[in-house]
Chains A and B, each alone.
Chain A
Amino acid sequence: MSETIVIAETRDGELHPVTAELVSAANNLGDSTTIVVPSTNDAAANSASSIAGVSKVIACVGDCFAAYDAASWAEAIDSCAPSGVIVCAASQNGKDLASRLAARRSISVVQDVVGIDGGTLTQPIYSGKAMQNLSLNGDAAISVRANTFAAAGDGGSAEVSVMNQSADVATAVREMIAKASERLDVAEADIIISGGRGMQDPANFANLERLADTLGAAVGASRAAVDTWEEIPHSMQVGQTGKTVNPSLYIAVGISGAIQHLAGMRTSKYIVAINKDPEAPIFKHADYGIVSTWEDALPVLEAELKALLG
């Protein structure tokens, strides 16, 4: 009997859909899956109980969960979670938490898992230029990338037990500086449309934003775009020194496909490239390449998508 513990991913107190993917990952690893849901109340835990394939839900309730604080989260979750392999999302906070929980239990941490096959876990190394296959010899904390496993369905009815926790927060949020735009973050999005230096002017990113609105996508950028234009913030940068993303669809517009850009998006399920240069390296990695200027291609793309998606 091996038990696997999923640490639910939450956003603003609500269960994040990636949690159901983590359950599938956990069910690949062990024969019994418990979800621990960290929150200030038990609402998210109640929604977790309907995920299929879960034997138990623990609502880990505490004031410390109002904002992310690694130390108190790890302390509170550690005292709720049984022993076993811990599964977190490979999000910014999920990876941080996995490290903390592993260290707290003196076990190893394995980040960014993109495959589980029997007892073999696979993770990218060297920015995805190679893969590392490993096995665990005892408990560990792992983080699993989004879009690696199909989400577990619903229809479950696991029992929810509430465990109240009080852990001292070690860091204090003094001010939340809301994003300038309400746009989806590239790290959160299932579809991303990114622009590079080929967009020529930051104002031209408005074309990408309109497409993103139609697709429910986030807008990303290459480093050249971020470095060249003050209007394009670093938070949009995809790549080695930006964000690593793993969406279902990545559309690269006016991006050459430098190795450092590929490092952040090469695992995307489908890649579309729009570039006027037929020799651009991005075409070697694209599932669908369109050799065209964006000025010509984007209006057609917009019209087609509008017709399809309204």
Chain B
Amino acid sequence: MGFQSKGCTLRGTGDKMTEIAVLVKRVPDTNAQILVSGDRVDLSAVKWVMSPYDEFALEAAMLHKEAKGGNVTAITLGNADCDKVLKDAKAVGVDRIIRVWDDSWSELDSNQAQSALANVIRDLGINIVYCGKSAADTGAGSTGPGVAERLGWASASNIIGLEFEDTGVEAMVPAATGNARTGVSLPAVISCDKGFCKPRKPNVKGIMMAKRAQVEVMSSDIPSSSVNIISHSPPPKKAPGQTFEGASEVPRVVAALRNDANVI
């Protein structure tokens, strides 16, 4: 299973069936340059990948299945361009791949996206959902807790350790004063930080299977949008900084931090 020593280990005992889902999102590679042209980001040239934290969620979902049985369904939200991330999930062994979309949709706000996902998850009879702690594009981290609330489920976010139990999971949740070893009963949504598991790589057989796999498309009712995106802009330009040569200049920097910047 390739566990790292930082974080906690996993163990499994019983064999009660669980219906597991993992939410995966297609995002620009984190190394991609993001250009703004006109008043919108131009993503036409970026390389697309599965959002990095979703890889840990996917691994957690697979480990959950291996420990407790059940099926893993990978779910994404988006148009047909997003099939690739589902195929990537299929290649490491998920049972079912579902894309939530309707051709009448364009960009969905959080309220719409979470409603659509929650409706599909409810219909599928899922009882545990794994997702990344945030997606690399928005960085928001809203989907996990938002979907949980709509379903009336428990949630634990940003987890850094995980153990599987018969009726739930035990998650390590970072808190201001340390880490909270937290019992979470199913049904629940678990949003994953990195570090507690090592995402598996697909093998040749998995990749072949994924090529042939069918993406199921599901739709849902959604509320109307309540956020208007006005524009995108490049990050504000900072005034150019000053560079000083050598340690002997440190006192000048300290003086500037005190007198000009007022931060010490």
A241–B228 alpha-carbon span in the complex (Å) = 29
Partner of A124, one of B30, B185, B235, B263: B235
Q: Is B249 an interface residue (CB 8 A)?
A: yes
Most chain B C-beta atoms within 10 Å of own C-beta, residue among A138, A266, A288:
A288
CA–CA, A246 and B110, complex, Å: 24
In contact, A266 and B235 (Cβ under 8 angstroms): yes
- Residue-wise, chain B 146-173 has the 8 Å CB interface mask toward A (1 for contact) of 1111100111111010000000001011
Q: Which residues of B contact A100 (CB under 8 A)?
A: 145-146, 148-149, 155
Complex contact A179–B177 (CB within 8 A): yes
**Cα A293 to Cα B228 with chains together (Å):** 49
CB-CB < 8 A to B142: which residues of A? 95, 98-99, 102, 109, 111
Tell whether, in the assembled complex, residue B264 and residue A290 are in contact, meaning their CB atoms are under 8 Å apart: no
Query: Once the chains bind, are B30 and A260 in contact (CB under 8 Å)?
Result: yes
Task: Say yes or no: is A158 at the interface (Cβ < 8 Å to chain B).
Answer: no
Residues of B within 8 A of A125 (CB): 41, 137-139, 232
Q: Is A206 an interface residue (CB 8 A)?
A: no
Scan residues 20-71 of chain A and give those whose CB is less than 8 A from a CB of chain B: 67-68, 70-71
Determine the chain A residues whose CB is within 8 A of the CB of B126 once the complex forms: none
Q: Nearest residue in A to B175 (C-beta to C-beta)? A: A68
Of A127-135, A159-167, A196-204, the one touching chain B: A127-135
Which of the four size classes fits the interface of chain B? 35 or more
Q: Which residues of A contact B261 (CB under 8 A)?
A: 249, 269-270, 287
Which residue of chain B has the shortest Cβ distance to A185 in the bound complex? B176
Shortest distance from the beta carbon of B50 to any chain A beta carbon, whole Å: 14
Stretch at the interface among B85-93, B209-217, B236-244: B236-244
Interface mask (A151-185 → B, CB under 8 Å = 1, otherwise 0): 00000000000000000001111111111000001
CA distance A137 to B235 in the complex (A): 25
Cross-chain contact of A103 among B6, B146, B173, B180 (Cβ < 8 A): B146
Interface residues as binary, A86-115 with B (CB distance below 8 Å gives 1, 0 otherwise):
000000100111111011101111111000
B149 with A71: CB separation less than 8 A: yes
In whole angstroms, how far apart are the Cα atoms of A173 and B254 in the complex? 44
Question: Which residue on A lies nearest to B247, using beta carbons?
Answer: A296
C-alpha gap A134/B138 in the complex (Å): 14
B178 at the interface (CB under 8 A from A): yes
Complex Cα distance, B185 from A108, in Å, reads: 27
Contact B238 A244 (CB under 8 A): no
B204 within 8 A of A: no
Say yes or no: is B218 at the interface (Cβ < 8 Å to chain A).
no
Note all chain B residues with C-beta closer than 8 A to A99: 110, 140-146, 149
Closest residue of A by beta carbon distance from B155: A70
Q: Mark A278-299, 1 if CB is under 8 A from B, else 0.
A: 1000011111111111001101
Tell me if A259 counts as interface (CB < 8 A to partner B): yes
CB within 8 A of A171: which of B184, B249, B254? B184
Give the size category of A's interface with B: 35 or more
Would you call B256 and A288 a contact (CB within 8 A)? yes
Interface of A is mostly: mixed
Q: Does B250 contact A (CB under 8 A)?
A: yes
**Contact, CB under 8 Å: A174 / B183:** yes
Asked if B157 and A70 sit within 8 Å, CB to CB, the answer is yes
The answer to whether B139 touches A140, judged by C-beta atoms less than 8 angstroms apart, is no
CB distance from A97 to the nearest CB of B (A): 8
Asked if B253 and A288 sit within 8 Å, CB to CB, the answer is: yes
Q: B264 is contacted by which of A140, A185, A260, A309 (Cβ under 8 Å)?
A: A309
- Considering the complex, which residues of chain A in the window 205-220 have a beta carbon less than 8 Å from any beta carbon of chain B? 215
Cβ contact within 8 Å between B228 and A134 = yes
Taking a contact as CB atoms closer than 8 A, the residue among A172, A278, A291 that contacts B183 in the complex is A172
Please indicate the chain A residues that have their CB under 8 angstroms from the CB of B184 in the complex.
Answer: 170-171
Question: Inside 8 A of A96's CB, which chain B residues have their CB?
Answer: 141, 145, 155, 157-158
B70 interfacial by beta-carbon distance below 8 Å: no
Nearest-neighbor residue (CB-CB) of B108 within chain A: A108
A263: Cβ under 8 A from any B Cβ: yes
Q: B218 to nearest A CB, angstroms? A: 20
Residues of B within 8 A of A140 (CB): 226-227
Q: Does the CB pair A103–B150 fall under 8 Å?
A: yes
Provide the residues of chain B in CB contact with A172, threshold 8 Å: 182-183
Q: Is A305 in the interface zone, CB < 8 Å from B?
A: yes
Q: Kindly report which residue of chain A lies nearest to residue B42, judged by CB atoms.
A: A130
Cβ-defined contact, A292 with B111, below 8 A: no
Shortest A85–chain B CB gap in Å is 11
Chain A residue nearest to B170 in the complex (CB): A174
* B199 at interface by CB-CB < 8 Å: no
- A interface with B by C-beta (< 8 Å): 11-12, 67-68, 70-71, 74, 92, 95-100, 102-104, 106-112, 120, 124-140, 170-179, 185, 188, 191, 215, 230, 233-235, 240-241, 244, 248-249, 259-260, 263, 266, 269-272, 278, 283-293, 296-297, 299-301, 304-305, 308-309
> Which of B's residues lie within 8 Å of A, judged by CB?
5-6, 28, 30-34, 36, 41, 52-53, 109-111, 114-115, 136-150, 153-158, 160, 170, 172-185, 188, 194-195, 223, 225-236, 238-239, 241-251, 253-254, 256-258, 261, 263-264
Can you list 19 A-B pairs, Cβ within 8 angstroms, ordered by A?
A: A70-B148, A70-B155, A100-B149, A102-B142, A108-B109, A124-B139, A126-B28, A137-B226, A172-B182, A177-B180, A179-B177, A230-B5, A230-B6, A240-B52, A260-B31, A287-B241, A291-B246, A292-B246, A293-B247
